[in-house]
Amino acid sequence: MGNLAIVGLGPGAFDQMTIGTIEKMKNADKLYLRTEKHPVVKYLKEMGLKFETFDKIYEKGSTFEEVYDNITREIIEIAEKYDNVVYAVPGNPFVAEKTVEYLLKFLNGSDDIKVEVVPAMSFVDVVINQLKVDPIYGFKIIDGLSLDSIKPDKRCNNLVTQVYNRRVASDVKLKLMDIYGDDFLVTVIKRAGIKGEERFETMPLYSIDRIDWIDYLTSIFLPPVKNTFQERYDIDDLLDIMARLRSENGCPWDREQDHNTLKRYLIEECYEAIDAIENDSDENLLEELGDVLLQVVFHSQIANERKAFNFHDVCDAECKKMVYRHPHVFGSEEIATSDDVLKRWDEIKKDEKGLKSHANELKSVPRSMPALIRGYKVQEKAAKVGFDWDNVDDAMAKVYEELNEFKEVYKGEDESDKIEELGDLIFAIVNVARFLKIDPEVAVHKTIEKFIDRFKYIEDSAEKMGHKMEDMTLSEMDFLWNEAKMHNFNKKVQK
């Protein structure tokens, strides 16, 4: 059986290496260093230790993952040939060492190679000591090359490693500025623990890629954000702000609200977001989406206060729903077209909600929806089981039928008949819109905007003529209305 000892070379000073590590290296049949780029290597040479490094693999590899994988495989092959192999890595083997992670994973449960990991001092220990930071209050270590998938936590200390050149520093800076802002003060750390070479400098985040002394032993330290007034906020800040607004010493208006009183605001904010989309205004859309998000946070806080659920439960439920309803993305199902996706979505949704009859599925469309949208969706669901006209002409014939029925009652005195027949007519028109794949809500909205624009034209024209609309005859206003129609308001110019 082969024996593989994984040892740490410490932060960089020779006196920070443990006696156990030195003894392991002295007694090794084969000693391998992940890299020769470490300050203590010169002392190992002075001690007369013979070793090999894997720097040649770094030169050949196209990605770090490929490099680490090749080093791992080579170490395993060597350990299978020799009885006592020592593999030395910078710092502590368990801190920011991918090859150690890979080795332990591959050799887990192996009967051929016995693995021993010898503890060592890490550069993190030096950083904690120099900055006088107690990790008990939170200390997150992040690979600077993994910031896309592993985010810093603004509420605790963060140490970003692997900032080994200015290109990486620039990439790290851009990602961190999205979270902390440009002017947030950070500490750039180089060669921590190496006397005469270590460097700790505090500077604004935006400037970290402008310094010319970055090397392979450089990290970035970010302290916790403690100010209420920040350059950049995130969702956790919004949750804290809402909790404070609802607290005993918070805002009286916010404290008075409940789910029912907030209903109108949720609807209003959604409409304002839609308005921003239709106006093609990114600035307004950013603001209005924030207002919609605030409503979600507001309702979640109220629910949390009565121990029903919280914002994280909302996120959890939505993530689970998205994963479950996309088996073609997160599972093994294969779905080729968008139509197939929608069909599968409906099947999954029906199963989720326990809708055992088609009528129940129609009833599941929320009554609080705008009537045109609700009618459209109900007709869609009915059509999926074959309850539909063969073509749009048949649907249009139904419109004429309902129009004639409405004509029979609209001058009558029975209010319920008029409501019923008008509803039937509108419902039939919605059906035609569905056949034509036109959103009836959008169509009516455009007509309203067109009406407002034409009405404004009449008012502006009257003012230019020195008239008030109130003093004009209907025929005079109708003349201007026909003029307004010539302007084609609310129609996009084709490019």
Structural domain contains residue 457: yes
CATH number at residue 128: 3.30.950.10
CA angle 307, 312, 315 (to 5 degrees): 125
Spatial distance between the Cα atoms of 141 and 144, rounded to a whole number of angstroms? 9
Structural domain ending residue among the three candidates 159, 192, 222: 222
Q: Give the residue numbers spanning the domain of 465.
A: 442-485
Are residue 257 and residue 273 in the same domain, yes or no?
A: yes
Please indicate, yes or no, whether residues 290 and 194 belong to a single structural domain of this protein.
no
Give yes or no: residues 49 and 113 share one domain: yes
Q: For position 275, which CATH number holds?
A: 1.10.287.1080
Measured CA to CA, the distance from residue 160 to residue 158 in angstroms comes to 6
- CB 61 within 8 Å of CB 30: no
β-bridge pairing 157-161 and 30-33: unpaired
Q: Flag whether 401 is in a domain.
A: no
pLDDT confidence of residue 216 = 87
Q: Is residue 419 part of a domain?
A: no
Residues of the chain with pLDDT under 50: 492-495
Per-residue pLDDT, 494: 40
The string of DSSP letters for 345-371 reads: HHHHHHHHTT--SHHHHHHTS-TTS-H
Burial class (CB in 10 A: 0-12, 13-18, 19+), 415: exposed
- Specify whether 107 is located in the same domain as 18: yes
pLDDT digits (tens, 9 = 90+) for 335-371: 888 888 888 887 887 777 776 678 888 888 888 888 9
Kind of pairing between the strands at 139-143 and 157-161? parallel
CATH for 115: 3.40.1010.10
Assigned domain for 417 exists = no
Judgement on whether residues 115 and 128 belong to the same structural domain of the protein: no
Q: Which amino acid is at 149?
A: S
Q: State residue 344's pLDDT score.
A: 86
Work out how many domains the chain is built from and give that number: 4
Question: 119 is written with which tokens?
Answer: 């503890």
DSSP 10: B
133 lies in a domain?
yes
Dist. CA 27–CA 24, nearest whole Å: 5
- Amino acid occupying residue 140: K
Report the greatest alpha carbon distance in the chain: 110
Q: Are residues 12 and 25 both part of a single domain?
A: yes
pLDDT at 489: 57
Look at residues 87, 121, 155 and tell me which one is the last residue of a structural domain: 121
298 and 244 belong to one structural domain: yes
CA 233 to chain centre: 15
Q: How are beta strands 52-53 and 30-33 bridged, if at all?
A: parallel
Cα separation, 95 vs 123, whole angstroms: 9
- 199 and 278 housed in the same domain: no
In a domain, 115, yes or no: yes
Do 135 and 116 share a structural domain? Answer: no
CB 429 within 8 A of CB 372: no
Residues 184 and 257 in one domain: no
Residues 28, 107, single domain; the answer is yes
Listed residues 100, 121, 142: the one ending a domain: 121
Q: Where in 138-282 does DSSP place strands (E)?
A: 139-143, 157-161, 185-190, 199-204, 218-222
Contacts (Cβ under 8 Å, ≥6 apart) of 165: 214, 215
pLDDT at residue 186, as a whole number: 97
Specify if 451 maps to a domain.
yes
Verify that 215 and 284 share a domain, yes or no.
no
Task: Please say whether the beta carbons of 159 and 220 come within 8 A.
Answer: yes
330 falls within a domain: no
